[in-house]
Structure 1
């Protein structure tokens, strides 16, 4: 067609193309727009650069925005702050096989509340810059290969609730600045190489519940000031070297204490009075150099374990131990005890070890002069699988515990690696039912949904176990947890929402294993309160609104322009220089109209996909077939002229030859 006729489709096509590009651009902008504070984005990238990630668990940290693109392990605020940005609230990088070191750029995560690098292989030192992240409540670095000393700057973390650096190789002394952590409840610093004396200043901590410093190189004397801690429940200092120190008498007055463990600490002198410890349930003073007699004072009725073995104690064993209703273990091996006051009558489930004492020479106590080691092999719950056909429950589904109300209920469990870090017992058997009720109640689950799969004592002593948690029975079609339940249960474990217990002590999450039905139930991360669907809705809604507005404006413009353009184009001849081909003539629109009687229906002979075909008679009497394109089939200028040139070259006895064309007045007419 001519310039006036063909500009309209080209203009429309160009406009539609622009709309498509605009839509795509807006979607890209919506998906990748930066919502997280730039300083935090840069900090996360620096953190990733300092880590070695062999399994590419942090592979998506190179794409998009941390908060809106769901970077692995990154959890953000649910709304933008006053500065207009989302902020990183949590780094949950538990058990991801990461190595490398911790970057000092952590300091720029100024809204971070939980820093979790547990159970990786990270080495190097703890950056002192962490002390400037004053929003931190959980600092979880246990189970790595960290070295160097503890930065004094950690004492600046006034909101810190839980400090876990256990199972590393950290050396040096405990900073006195830790006495400033007035909100701290948990100090887990065991299994390192800490040295020097325990700072007496720690006694100023008003909320501290657990002080675990066992398996270090601490020395000096035991600070008597620790007895001033009003909420101290567990004091565990095993396997240190307090050579020449005695147990301060004031330790017998720690009213909230449920566990006192000073095993293998090179302590000497007498055992203090323990009658003023109403909640005590576990005392381990073994492998020391304690002397004198065993106190005859009445112990708490909560007492389960008394281990005074391998000391220099002499005299008489008090018969008052027979009146302890929860007692599990009395271990007095390898002392110099020579008598029992009265009759030591104990239930059969209480283990008593007296070997290595002069008292064992008396034949009537032979039953108390052996050793004992707990056997877990026959005491755990068994599933009902033996009574059901194994082939009817294909992996990863398995039969629920025998206590389940429906026989042979086949379901997919959640698998949890769980460890009691300082249990208040040495024999788990009497506590199995209590433990199952304790955890299932905390998780708001039925007792039949809970199963202890395996149990083993580890160095500490710590009790490692693997748990299976099954979905509740609703009907035969429900055999796995839904997404919200998986997220809720996972959150209960990883955020320590299972509250502490005097008997079971603090726990730690070792792993949370998702079998095939749950592989995608826990997202890498998501802004707290903003789901991926909500984010997608916001992005798409914004883009769609922008595109719709642009389209309406554009179409109104096209409509107005089209009316003006058609009126103008009909009034002027084509300004384009047509192609010139030998034997092919250019005709005007007027000549075509005359030849077909103004494209009268009586001249119509057929129709194709491109347009209608008319019979025409030219001025010289030549009968021709005239093909008139429909408005929706109009081509671009280059395409139409190319077609004319190609048709001029086609010659066959069964085909009519091209003799000319018309390309004006908005028409494309070969003939």
Structure 2
């Protein structure tokens, strides 16, 4: 009998082993080879099966390994060439593992499906292999802050899909490669937004061929190299540029006369070169915030007339540039001006400081010029004025404060304060957080390569960064309690350095998964800092040695407990195996019966919060069906993409068009959102709400099948992307349709539904321009027991987010009303809620003057509306929008009241609120020809919670 039982157990073990070994054999061997080359592979990497046993940092699709995400895991060793065996690998991020050294294997070029290669802040050395140019799907290539040598591989020019290219802070040398007919080069990267090559040893001239008008570059950073010759005039053809850095090189010659074509440029750094000729004419560069021209050999010239014409300027650094004459008093009245450094020049005459100077001014440094008089008619001022070394300070006995150079401030410029509590006294190694809890924080350093302010002691910029970080962590469900920033300082390369601490939520330290998530959002540039303060950045993560899941901590357990647990566990294991055999047989019988009667029997409780979705009117599609309807998910049917995944157009056998939202691996974190959207939409039926036709939960896939809405999102039409012209009457109809859809969700759905993510990308337009509310991934049903509000984690989209909800975490229908109010302002201005650091609600509130026509908002309103005659009801529309965005929820109307008000406005405009939308304009008819744009893309998935994806967006 005993032998029979052991034989039965052996059979069970064999079967379990076969079932558990789900990883492809080649992939499993490759990962084990990698682990063998690393001295400190993550715990659990020694277990039998990478996918089945959930190895830390390994993502799988079916049996194949598709991602390796291991930033800041304290890895040491080489990157084995065996990695090339992972033929389905799409993402590889090993950033902030300084112990990873040696060359990058040439066989990495065999990873043909790789889209993200991120190795920031490691110790890799040797040349970058040319085989990297065979990774045709690569979108994100980040090799910065290593020790790579040799030249930039010209084959990088073959990466036509590349968006992010960062090889900064290495030891690369030689010329910048461009194509010559037989050899590729960087000039071929027409889809790239980022060229980051600073802090290398690149030499030779900058080829004029490097830039052309077809490029879409945002950042061009070649600072701190050894480049010679002139700055090519072709740079002025790339009108999308926002940050340009060629400082600290050996460039010479005259600056191109067409630099002022770069009207979107925020930061221009050209200091410490050998430029000659006259100063460039920068008239018209209305977006320019930061200008560095110091230490060049420009010809002597008077103060440029364009000084006072740069309305966005915050920082002017023109030390030792041979400029002469008087600085006009109007220059100091630029509203955002903070820092002016014009020392060691030939300025002379009288310096006028008149009333009305910028309230943000912190420093005017005019040392070592020839200024003979100060005309200070403004009286007192709170900025530093330095005139030492000028004739005005050479009189005997002069004691004016502006005649001395102030000592550097040695006290900390900023450190995050505690939040209404006393800092805790912590044990060794722990730190008191802003919420006064002792913990082991994750730490690192932000290195900002461009910034839109120069007053390093201005706390508002750092508070904005802290709030932005916390909102990001919360919306992406990363377990963070608080963050702190400290010690802002400028390094010799004119980078802003800022220390960061991230504190764990509910624990005294992070586990490996949490550290990996935090590091990943920085290495992958998923997190974007506030654009009104900060430009491009690099993050350097510090070594983290206090993982809560470190197996070394478990060794403190007593031997007696271990022995007792092992003995008890053995008995329990035997009982469980016997019970398991019986349960397994019973389960198989039950599954056979259930599968015949229940189409949702394959729903996986582990991924769906525990229960089968309760559906009304939606059906389950099989993977094979959807594969057929989309022609095997062909590129021709790819109509959009975003953080969630891709969306495909499909055609049912009946000829009906459908939109299939297919989650990509790594974004299927939202089992709750997936289930919520199915259950909510399946019972929502209204002409102004997108209809859910079904879903697919088959073969490890998560897909939602919607009705096809052919004319894209409201955002597409407001931006001009769709080609549909929206006059005043169409905008009113769209606003009414969206309001009715939202009213239905709040008042008639059972139970009532709070959408939580109302925005222009989630309002879709059908073939007759009827508005439909879409994307319910963040929606929250209101149960009977929830009186008035739901206390829940803050989610939504910045700019539309209700500030009261953000502060209290209490979600109500009025949170949707606030978002809808922002949407109404977007409808009349065609501006994004946050644009160039300006918040539309605040801008409208400040500009409004009810005593004037159109409330004095003509400059802010979208000219497409037409102002030949004032649009009837527009003032009432603005009043309605502003009532929706009242700070206190009790002061906002309900959606039912909003609907009635829009109907009244339409009647004022001579329209019938109950008439169907028409589609008669030529622009609309033209826009609907061919393959229309589709809304299920990019921002449709912003801030949907869960682990961040690899989607790259412009900074």
Normalised-by-shorter TM-score class? 0.5 to 0.7
Task: Give the equivalent residue in structure 1 for 2:14.
Answer: 25
| Secondary structure in 2 matching 1:98 | strand
Task: Give the equivalent residue in structure 2 for 1:417.
Answer: 445
**1:312 Cα deviation (Å)?**
2.0
Q: Is the 8 A contact 1:74 1:91 kept in 2?
A: no
Looking at structure 2, the residues matched to 372 and 195 of structure 1 have their Cα atoms a distance apart, in angstroms, of 39
Task: Give the equivalent residue in structure 2 for 1:327.
Answer: 337
> For the structure 1 residues 74 and 143, does the alpha-carbon distance in structure 2 shift closer, same or farther, using more than 3 Å as the test?
farther
| Secondary structure in 1 matching 2:305 | coil
Deviations 1:292-321 (A, max 9, x none): 222122332221110110222222223222
Task: Give the equivalent residue in structure 1 for 2:464.
Answer: 437
**1:134 Cα deviation (Å)?**
1.6
**1:200 Cα deviation (Å)?**
2.6
Q: Is the 8 A contact 1:385 1:399 kept in 2?
A: no
Deviations 1:312-331 (A, max 9, x none): 22222232221112222111
Task: Give the equivalent residue in structure 1 for 2:554.
Answer: none
Q: Is the 8 A contact 2:120 2:523 kept in 1?
A: no
Looking at structure 2, the residues matched to 30 and 550 of structure 1 have their Cα atoms a distance apart, in angstroms, of 18
Looking at structure 2, the residues matched to 382 and 24 of structure 1 have their Cα atoms a distance apart, in angstroms, of 55
Deviations 1:97-118 (A, max 9, x none): 1111110111222222221222
Task: Give the equivalent residue in structure 2 for 1:229.
Answer: 238
> For the structure 1 residues 157 and 74, does the alpha-carbon distance in structure 2 shift closer, same or farther, using more than 3 Å as the test?
farther
> For the structure 1 residues 152 and 41, does the alpha-carbon distance in structure 2 shift closer, same or farther, using more than 3 Å as the test?
farther
| Secondary structure in 2 matching 1:249 | coil
Looking at structure 2, the residues matched to 545 and 509 of structure 1 have their Cα atoms a distance apart, in angstroms, of 52
> For the structure 1 residues 311 and 78, does the alpha-carbon distance in structure 2 shift closer, same or farther, using more than 3 Å as the test?
farther
Looking at structure 2, the residues matched to 269 and 252 of structure 1 have their Cα atoms a distance apart, in angstroms, of 17
Task: Give the equivalent residue in structure 1 for 2:496.
Answer: 463
Task: Give the equivalent residue in structure 2 for 1:379.
Answer: 413
Looking at structure 1, the residues matched to 290 and 46 of structure 2 have their Cα atoms a distance apart, in angstroms, of 51
Q: Is the 8 A contact 1:319 1:344 kept in 2?
A: yes
Task: Give the equivalent residue in structure 1 for 2:168.
Answer: 166
Looking at structure 2, the residues matched to 34 and 396 of structure 1 have their Cα atoms a distance apart, in angstroms, of 40
Q: Name stretches of at least 5 consecutive residues in structure 2 with no aligned partner.
A: 67-85, 179-184, 372-388, 395-399, 475-479, 552-575, 590-955
Give 2:263's match in structure 1, choosing from 255, 259, 265.
255
> For the structure 1 residues 173 and 483, does the alpha-carbon distance in structure 2 shift closer, same or farther, using more than 3 Å as the test?
closer
Looking at structure 2, the residues matched to 63 and 478 of structure 1 have their Cα atoms a distance apart, in angstroms, of 27
**1:21 Cα deviation (Å)?**
2.4
- What are the equivalent positions in structure 2 for 1:57-68 lying under 5 Å apart? 57=41, 67-68=51-52
- 1:189 to 2:197 alignment: yes
Looking at structure 2, the residues matched to 323 and 210 of structure 1 have their Cα atoms a distance apart, in angstroms, of 29
| Secondary structure in 2 matching 1:422 | coil
- What are the equivalent positions in structure 2 for 1:464-503 lying under 5 Å apart? 464-470=497-503, 489-499=518-528, 501=531, 503=533
Looking at structure 2, the residues matched to 137 and 117 of structure 1 have their Cα atoms a distance apart, in angstroms, of 14
Looking at structure 2, the residues matched to 480 and 44 of structure 1 have their Cα atoms a distance apart, in angstroms, of 28
- 1:510 to 2:519 alignment: no
**1:61 Cα deviation (Å)?**
6.7
Looking at structure 2, the residues matched to 210 and 138 of structure 1 have their Cα atoms a distance apart, in angstroms, of 14
**1:188 Cα deviation (Å)?**
1.1
> For the structure 1 residues 77 and 440, does the alpha-carbon distance in structure 2 shift closer, same or farther, using more than 3 Å as the test?
farther
**1:46 Cα deviation (Å)?**
7.7
| Secondary structure in 1 matching 2:496 | strand
Looking at structure 2, the residues matched to 272 and 389 of structure 1 have their Cα atoms a distance apart, in angstroms, of 53
Deviations 1:500-523 (A, max 9, x none): 5253111122116657475569xx
TM-score, reference length from structure 1: 0.66
**1:32 Cα deviation (Å)?**
4.0
Deviations 1:125-174 (A, max 9, x none): 00111111122222111111111111111111122221111111101111
TM-score, reference length from structure 2: 0.47
- What are the equivalent positions in structure 2 for 1:41-440 lying under 5 Å apart? 53=38, 55-57=39-41, 67-68=51-52, 74-77=58-61, 87-96=88-97, 97-176=99-178, 177-204=185-212, 206-243=215-252, 245-291=253-299, 292-297=301-306, 298-340=308-350, 342-343=352-353, 346=357, 349-359=361-371, 360-363=389-392, 368=402, 371=405, 375=409, 377-381=411-415, 383-384=417-418, 388=422, 390-391=424-425, 393-394=426-427, 398-401=431-434, 408=436, 413-430=441-458, 432-440=459-467
| Secondary structure in 1 matching 2:254 | coil
Looking at structure 2, the residues matched to 399 and 552 of structure 1 have their Cα atoms a distance apart, in angstroms, of 53
**Count of aligned pairs:** 504
Q: Name stretches of at least 5 consecutive residues in structure 1 with no aligned partner.
A: 1-8, 522-539, 554-671
Task: Give the equivalent residue in structure 2 for 1:6.
Answer: none
**1:91 Cα deviation (Å)?**
1.7
Deviations 1:11-41 (A, max 9, x none): xx555444322332333334444337x3x66
**1:482 Cα deviation (Å)?**
9.8
| Secondary structure in 2 matching 1:196 | strand
> For the structure 1 residues 442 and 467, does the alpha-carbon distance in structure 2 shift closer, same or farther, using more than 3 Å as the test?
closer
Looking at structure 1, the residues matched to 43 and 588 of structure 2 have their Cα atoms a distance apart, in angstroms, of 41
> For the structure 1 residues 42 and 213, does the alpha-carbon distance in structure 2 shift closer, same or farther, using more than 3 Å as the test?
farther
Q: Which has the larger radius of gyration?
A: 1
Q: Is the 8 A contact 2:121 2:540 kept in 1?
A: yes
| Secondary structure in 2 matching 1:179 | helix
Looking at structure 2, the residues matched to 546 and 332 of structure 1 have their Cα atoms a distance apart, in angstroms, of 85
| Secondary structure in 2 matching 1:34 | coil
> For the structure 1 residues 411 and 354, does the alpha-carbon distance in structure 2 shift closer, same or farther, using more than 3 Å as the test?
same
Deviations 1:363-403 (A, max 9, x none): 26965565567636243245449974744x546665443xx
> For the structure 1 residues 364 and 546, does the alpha-carbon distance in structure 2 shift closer, same or farther, using more than 3 Å as the test?
farther
**1:274 Cα deviation (Å)?**
1.7
**1:192 Cα deviation (Å)?**
0.4
**1:469 Cα deviation (Å)?**
3.6
Q: Is the 8 A contact 2:335 2:360 kept in 1?
A: no
> For the structure 1 residues 317 and 551, does the alpha-carbon distance in structure 2 shift closer, same or farther, using more than 3 Å as the test?
closer
Q: Is the 8 A contact 1:439 1:498 kept in 2?
A: no
| Secondary structure in 2 matching 1:255 | coil
**1:424 Cα deviation (Å)?**
3.1
Looking at structure 1, the residues matched to 418 and 4 of structure 2 have their Cα atoms a distance apart, in angstroms, of 69
> For the structure 1 residues 338 and 107, does the alpha-carbon distance in structure 2 shift closer, same or farther, using more than 3 Å as the test?
same
Task: Give the equivalent residue in structure 2 for 1:557.
Answer: none
**1:439 Cα deviation (Å)?**
4.5
> For the structure 1 residues 268 and 510, does the alpha-carbon distance in structure 2 shift closer, same or farther, using more than 3 Å as the test?
same
| Secondary structure in 1 matching 2:325 | strand
